[in-house]
Amino acid sequence: MDAAPRPSRARHVVLGFALAVMGVAYLDRVAISSAAPAMKGDLGLSDTEMGLVFSAFTLAYALFEVPSGWLADRFGARWTLTRIVLWWSAMTAATGAATGFVSLLAIRWLFGMGEAGVLPSLSRAFSRWLPAHARGQAFGLTVMAAALGGAATQPLVTTLLARFSWREAFPIFGSVGVIWAAAWFWWFRDDPREHRAVNAAELALIGREADPSGRGREADPSGRGREADPSGRGRHPATPHPAVPWRALVTSRGLIALCAMYFTAIYGWYFYLTWLPSYLLRARGFDLATMGWLAMLPLLGVAAGALLGGWISDPLVRRFGLRLGLRAPGLVGLPLAALFMLGAIATPDGRTATFLFTGAAGSAALGIAPAWSVCLAIGGRHAGVVSGTMNTFGNLGGSLMPVVMGSVLDATGSWNLSLYSVAALYGVAALCWLGIDPESPIDTAH
């Protein structure tokens, strides 16, 4: 008797593309934080103006996240991600042409507007290409890749700045995304049944999530699989995407708690992405080269925490169910993050403070990694809109942090006041997890 055919591995290529694009996204997004001291001096910017520049990206990203998530649900991840990556690559290159505060602010706004939707688009791709039991790990790996991209950026930018001006460095970074976009558009298909590299065994492994219409599938002679059609005429036309249940979205207590958690947790994330290099130079007295290496450590902590949060959430869910399995990392990680942040503020030693920042960043990432699995659990076919909504509020919190720190610096010269607010909001984020129920999906009846 012939052995059953082994599943093809195209789903792993999709995950590889996801990890690469998040690395590139954070390479381009974080470059400005390491270049900020040189840009601030060349363009004559105050701390408040630099904070507004940091926040322009994040605010635009937040405001356009839901529309971009809807586009991913409506048109698929192939076209949506191609547009997103080409847009942000162009804006990364254009950053080197800024002539002052207004032009830099405008470029960063357009950058954020174009990059919005990358995670909801990946969420859409994962919902079609990955079996449900593997999605928590996939999201953990995705957040890890973002953090690794940001971590690699810090010493890379300082190295480039030793050889080139910041104006020359940004077009170099912008070219990387163009290569990714071309490869993605050529290889990816929104429906795994339409991809020649996918056989019937892999479709069976992916499960019914690959078929949002809920209809059965049967294997075709090529081994790729197609929708069952009793008439024998081939595939049914794809069913139209249902209308978004906006009333159910805005009244969902679970989604409100999820958005509040992400707002308060991502507020602290943006300290590591924006002001940390300047903090290490100005508050802790490190030189440029040392700063580049130390500034990468908290982002490595984020990578480790996100990976751990994604990997442990899946076995926790299998053992304890969705509610406890997805809540537990947040209820443990976020209080630890608050304690690490308080320790970093209190210590007089700069290197010790950096290690404590790393612990805070990693613990917070552990606590928020399962949030993307919650979006799939409660969002169903509207996972793009749900994840976009959550990420909108997260980035609203992220846009607030750089402005608060820049304004407080200009007003008082104190770094610690803003860092205390990070610790406090980590505590609030932990409490928000108590109101998140992954076992209560949003009503998508229409």
Q: What is the DSSP letter of 283?
A: T
Contacts for 412 with CB less than 8 Å, ≥ 6 apart: none
CB distance 365 to 429 below 8 Å:
no
Q: Is 237 helix (H, G, I), strand (E, B) or coil?
A: coil
Contacts for 78 with CB less than 8 Å, ≥ 6 apart: 184, 185, 188, 189, 190
Within a domain: 160: yes
Within a domain: 171: yes
pLDDT band at residue 5 using 50, 70 and 90 as cut-offs: confident
pLDDT tens sequence across 20-79: 998 888 887 788 888 888 899 899 999 999 999 999 988 998 888 778 777 877 888 899
pLDDT tens sequence across 365-395: 999 888 878 887 887 677 667 877 888 899 8
Within a domain: 232: no
pLDDT band at residue 2 using 50, 70 and 90 as cut-offs: low
pLDDT surpasses 50 at 236: no
Calpha distance 205→135 (Å, rounded): 13
pLDDT at residue number 242: 65
CATH of the domain at 363: 1.20.1250.20
Contacts for 322 with CB less than 8 Å, ≥ 6 apart: 377, 438, 439
- As a whole-number percent, the residues of the chain with pLDDT over 90 amount to 38
Token output for 84: 């997103």
CB distance 216 to 227 below 8 Å:
yes
**Nearest residue to 200 (alpha-carbon basis) of 217, 166, 225, 175:** 225
Mean pLDDT of the chain: 83
Calpha distance 375→93 (Å, rounded): 33
pLDDT at residue number 271: 95
Calpha distance 146→150 (Å, rounded): 6
Which of 164-168, 183-187, 207-211, 281-285 is predicted least confidently? Answer: 207-211
Q: What is the DSSP letter of 236?
A: P
**Phi and psi at residue 218, in whole multiples of 5°?**
-135, 155
- The arithmetic mean of pLDDT across residues 349-366, rounded, is 96
- The arithmetic mean of pLDDT across residues 144-158, rounded, is 82
Calpha distance 55→49 (Å, rounded): 10
Residues in the chain, how many?
A: 446
pLDDT surpasses 60 at 214: no
pLDDT at residue number 355: 97
Contacts for 45 with CB less than 8 Å, ≥ 6 apart: 39, 53, 101, 104
**Nearest residue to 351 (alpha-carbon basis) of 285, 274, 418:** 285
pLDDT surpasses 70 at 187: yes
Cα torsion at 294, 297, 299, 303 (round to 10°)?
160
Within a domain: 392: yes
Within a domain: 200: no
Token output for 281: 């130079």
Q: Which residue has the higher pLDDT, 282 or 375?
A: 282
Q: Is 321 helix (H, G, I), strand (E, B) or coil?
A: coil
Tell me the residue range of the domain where 344 lies. 10-193+241-435
Domain count, the chain: 1
Within a domain: 332: yes
Strands 217-218 and 226-227: antiparallel
Token output for 280: 């290490």
